[in-house]
Amino acid sequence: MEIADFEALRTPAGREALDAAAASDVSERALLATTARLRARFPAELVGAALVQVRLRARAAAKFGADAARMYFTPQGLEQSTRAPVAAHRAARFAEYADSGTVLELCCGIGADLLFRARAGVPGTGVDLDPLTVAVASANLAAFGVDGIARARVGDALDQDPAGYAAVFADPGRRTARGRVFDPKAYEPPLDALLALASRAPAACVKVAPGIPYEAIPEGACAEWVSDGGDVKEAALWLGGLAEGPPRRATLLRNGETHTLAPDPALSTPPVRPWGRYLYEPDGAVIRAHLVGEAAALVDGGLADPRIAYITSDVLKETPFTAAYEVREVLPFSVKRLKAALRAHGVGALTLKKRGFAADLDRLHRDLRPACSAGSAEGTVVLTRVGEAPVALLCAKPKH
């Protein structure tokens, strides 16, 4: 999309075209007919821009809920943007710290974090290299009436001076045309350059990929892994005045509630024990933050294998940091044994999970499907190992 086409969407004619596109069927099967009908009323470039926005807004609903219908996006900006619950969580922390000071945001993208901080009352200036992206960010601020306290402008992140700002937030690019980038040195800009710049501010936060190597976390930083609805989406490095608290933590956002788990040196090494009545699967943020021992202590559990993050216990305890399964049977792994167990337990709807186990789950699911043809119960097979021995656990939802 060209910037002129996007700016045309914000004119009265553009808003009319956008409303007409939003009220139309934009599915693949109807797209040609919808395009032709809209082009009878509006210029082709305007129709194209409107349809792009409507389809992006539909995709964005998973991240932004009802707000997506008022927002503007670019494809790359949507992929990179922070989910609404995570942006709101982070904005609240900036609001507590900034105390009316302005936050400088580097690589602001379409402005999601800028927007949520502004809605929390935190003034901000966002900078991005791409003029179209900056135009989209500005439109999002205006759409929610916060363009009076936050703004976006074109600029190179590494050319910015954080002097005079209360804090810095940075969201470096972690995608290329070939997909996700996992090496912090390949971020755009590179992580070490951003950290050097951010360290000149009184406080800072740098958004990073959840799989960031521990050796890339600077000394004195607080590393936070965030899970939204059980899905680990990102991590953040809090620096300076925002680094107070433990050196790492797992934050879970679920149903409007925030749950945080922090390290306890006395619990960092969980006991190793035989399989018990229950299996607990830690949330991905807990695993990334190396807090499996702390999660095990919450359920009076231990690990069947010290290298694999499955917790087992003889008691059923509810905690937001783990998902619980009742263990019905533990088997040395073989397809034949699994088929017999599935038939014996009347399993019809099967879910497969694995950790520390090399298996093609799609193929295994096909191999096991005949054994589930007559069953009606729901079952979960967990594939893992103890030492070098592969095992399969047939599990069910626990009865509370």
- Residue 247 has a pLDDT of 93
Tens of pLDDT along 59-71?
999 999 999 999 9
Mean pLDDT of 45-72: 96
Helix 44-64 / helix 31-39 crossing angle, nearest 10 deg: 130
Q: What is the pLDDT of residue 175?
A: 75
CB 356 within 8 A of CB 293: no
- The closest alpha carbon to 277, from 235, 244, 315, belongs to 315
Q: How many CB atoms lie within 10 A of CB 376?
A: 9
Taking 90 as the threshold, does the pLDDT of residue 37 lie above it? Answer: yes
Of 62, 64, 253, residue with least CA distance to 140: 64
Q: Which two tokens stand for residue 127?
A: 């900078």
Tell me the sheet residues that pair with 275: none
- Nearest CA to 245 out of 256, 253, 237 is that of 237
CA distance 150 to 102: 9
Task: Report the C-alpha gap between 62 and 84 in whole angstroms.
Answer: 9
Over residues 251-270, the mean pLDDT reads 93
Length of the chain: 400
Summarize pLDDT for 16-28 with one digit per residue, the tens: 999 999 999 999 9
Tokens of 325: 């399964």
The DSSP 8-state label assigned to residue 102 in this structure reads P
Least Cα distance to 279 among 329, 313, 319, 307 occurs for 313
Extract the runs of DSSP E, i.e. beta strands, from the chain: 103-106, 124-128, 150-154, 167-170, 175-176, 179-180, 203-208, 222-228, 231-240, 248-254, 257-261, 278-282, 302-303, 311-313, 322-332, 347-354, 377-386, 389-396
| pLDDT, tens digit, 9 for 90 and up, residues 117-161 | 999 999 999 999 999 999 999 999 999 999 999 999 999 999 999
- Lowest-pLDDT range, 113-127, 156-170, 177-191, 375-389? 177-191
Per-residue pLDDT for 1 more than 80? Answer: no
Q: Is the Cβ–Cβ distance between 216 and 184 less than 8 Å?
A: yes
Which H or E element spans position 42?
A: none
Tell me, what's the pLDDT at 177?
A: 65
Amino acid, single-letter form, for residue 326: E
CA-CA distance, 268 to 296, in Å (whole number)?
9
* Residue at 42: amino acid letter: F
Our measurement of the distance from residue 350's CA atom to the centroid of its chain's CA atoms, rounded to an integer in Å, reads 26
Q: Which of 9-23, 163-177, 302-316, 324-338 has the lowest mean pLDDT?
A: 163-177
Return the closest-CA partner of residue 164 out of 216, 119, 200: 200
Measured in whole angstroms, the distance separating CA 13 from the mean position of its chain's CA atoms is: 36
Q: What is the C-alpha separation between 372 and 289, in angstroms, rounded?
A: 37
Q: In what order do the strands lie in the sheet with 389-396?
A: 302-303, 311-313, 278-282, 322-332, 389-396, 377-386, 347-354
Lowest-pLDDT range of 23-27, 54-58, 97-101, 351-355:
97-101
* CA 27 – CA 17 distance, rounded (Å): 17
pLDDT in tens, 303-323: 999 999 999 999 999 999 999
Between CA 193 and CA 95 the distance in angstroms is 26
Question: Is the CB of residue 185 less than 8 Å from the CB of residue 150?
Answer: no
